[in-house]
Structure 1
Amino acid sequence: MKCSRLALAVSLLVASAAHAQSSVTLYGLIDTSLVYSNDARVNAANPSAGGGSQWQEFAGSVYTPRWGLRGTEDLGGGLSAVFLLENGFNSTNGTFKNGGDLFGRQAWVGLSASQYGTLTLGRQYDFMVTYLAPLSATGSGFGGNLAMHPYDNDNLNNDMRLNNSVKFASVPFHGVKVGAMYAFSNQAGGFSNNNAYSAGISYSFGPINLAASYLQINRDANSPNATGAVSTGDGDALTLGGLQRIYGLGAQYMFGKSSIGLVWTHSSTESPSALWFGGSTSNGALPGPPNGAGNYIKFDNFEINGRYFLQTNLSLGASYTYTMASFNSTTGNAFPHWNQVMAQADYLLSARTDVYIEGVYQRVGGGNGIPVFDAGVYTLNPATGNKQVVVAVGLKHRF
């Protein structure tokens, strides 16, 4: 009897110790707002259908609602097993985002070594998102989704993920972090058809943060691979077409919690047939042969942003982005350029809950009458012309 009790006590101690060395955390964020936009298309894909003022309840004006599970298990010697599963959803109606995928935002597992860094495998963000986006107003920056650069052409708003990827991100060495990743095409006989790779470096020293990142997606425009590194079935692809390159630099200076930042990014796509416009590549069809030889589109984005805390719980933020593009096709060329201003006020009701008001003004020129080069902010209905104003009043809660 005593032996059985002792065995039970030991098993309980072992179970407690094992539990103490591992953890699983449920987390999430809900962002819902009331949004006004002017000159919104009646049919988001058809500018000729007319437009007018639109009032709507909208999920994710700043940050897309999500919930997830993250876990770690201590394997000893500074090594841990880690995982993350993250779902994106629409808080106005409860439906899934990312094409209905359960864990469409992120899904990965890996090993983390405290002295070196973390190696992960699965559906993950590239280093434009990991290192450069935090220095911008868009994406993980304070302005979030509404501050997105046109079509999220540089992926700083983290609308695109890489499937089938292997990623390494180092721990800081004297303020320097480096990372690299590779995403497989998974196609038999097509190793380089829709594979991708990305790399980045960041440096932090006192109030100064610097970052540089690169992303390349290799695709055959004449033979699409829908299940490769960039899926065309979940609506997350930023362009449809051939080879896509994205790179950029950023700098940020912190003074207390406040900050000012500068970001430049460049992106290009060969043989483009559609852009991520109004939240869908189907709304962004480009003129000319879909896979016409010599077709290309290029973007350069120049952003300045700043955020100032009037009080510990009250901040004002703003950004200005100038984007210039060059589009070439056999049926016509265009050299559109965008001026976009974002302003925001955010008030913390608690450490986890805040209210905000955010507005965006966008003006486009040089579109040569091509509807996809009309004004358009994030996934809201694009404008029927070259100007659009968007104002959102919302509530965010983290758990």
Structure 2
Amino acid sequence: MSALDDMRLRRNPETPLARKLLYLNWGLVLLVLALAAVGTAMLYSAANGSFEPWAWAHMARVAGGLLLLLAVALTDIRLWFRAAYPFYALCLLLLIIVEVKGMVGMGAQRWINLGFMQLQPSELMKVALLLALARYFHGIAHRDLRHPLYLLVPLALALTPAALVLRQPDLGTAAMLLMGAGTLFFLAGVRLWKFALVAAGIGALVPIAWSFLHDYQKRRVLVFLDPSTDPLGAGYHITQSKIALGSGGLFGKGFLEGTQGHLNFLPERQTDFIFTMLAEEFGLVGALVLLGLYLLVFIYGVAIALSAGSQFGRLLAMGLTANLFFYVFINMAMVMGLLPVVGVPLPLVSYGGTVILTTMLSLGLILNVRIHRDYHIPRRGLRNAP
């Protein structure tokens, strides 16, 4: 087949499924499997050498997530473009349901009990928000971004779910929603001085916002500034995490040999602090290997975004890649004491159903952009549309 015929085939909305599978970036899929394998091993270790209760469930969720990833990746990108606003509306409705009758756990109301799993809609909203913003910015001209009126809709799209998530309360997820939205604003071409203006406004509101924080959130911030102020209370988690990180040394204590985790000094070792367990058992080398796997995922995501043929695809792939980066950065910085403990899991490694669902959905959409990189998505109403 000639290169011209191949190009025509990829532009054809009826491209055969088998041909789409050839365009799937299997290197990225292998990285997903590698990260999931690391997660399974660490959850096995977290349960003191047992596949119950976390490792088996993690493997089952990853298997289901892979099917979701493939289904999302192979679906026509124009269907995702049309579904962006309805999907956002559905996730917003789920957040409202959480507010009305959601499950309460660990002092927060964040989940909906579906029977077979506890769904956390705020995680899905991270993807839905980026889809909606990518569609919005795809449909307006770059020159329109100079006018503040054109930014009111995307601001409302971002601030509404963030406000609902703050009420749960979940400061970490609300911050990630706003950071993801800010990434899309920047990539779409919003001027930097507007970001500086917003940052100045946020800085001015910090003293007021402090009074609205819950007591446990204030303690987390104060402990972040000085963990010694409450070493047996709010500062216990981060103190034990630092001990485990330091005791791992260069090569670690060995698989299943971590003392902080296996002697129950390390809290939430299967979720928020799983990176600490890995660093204690496999040392700095193991931590750098995991970081390298994530780095390769980010490189793939950026490369796919840069190769996209539509503004929607570029913004979506880059925004989702940035969102995955925020997961990893916040989690690792949190367990090292560089950020307050805000309960952000490590994608594909930490235990949790909704975060795997969200991660696989995100990666499926990134692969979707890769497969359909030459598909035409009209920019209605714009002159010189592609």
TM superposition score category, shorter chain reference: under 0.3
Q: Could you say which structure has the higher helix fraction?
A: 2
Flag the structure with more relative contact order, 1 or 2, with Cα contacts below 8 A and sequence separation at least 6: 2
TM-score by length of 1: 0.26
Which protein has the bigger strand share?
Answer: 1
How does the TM-score come out when normalised to structure 2? 0.27
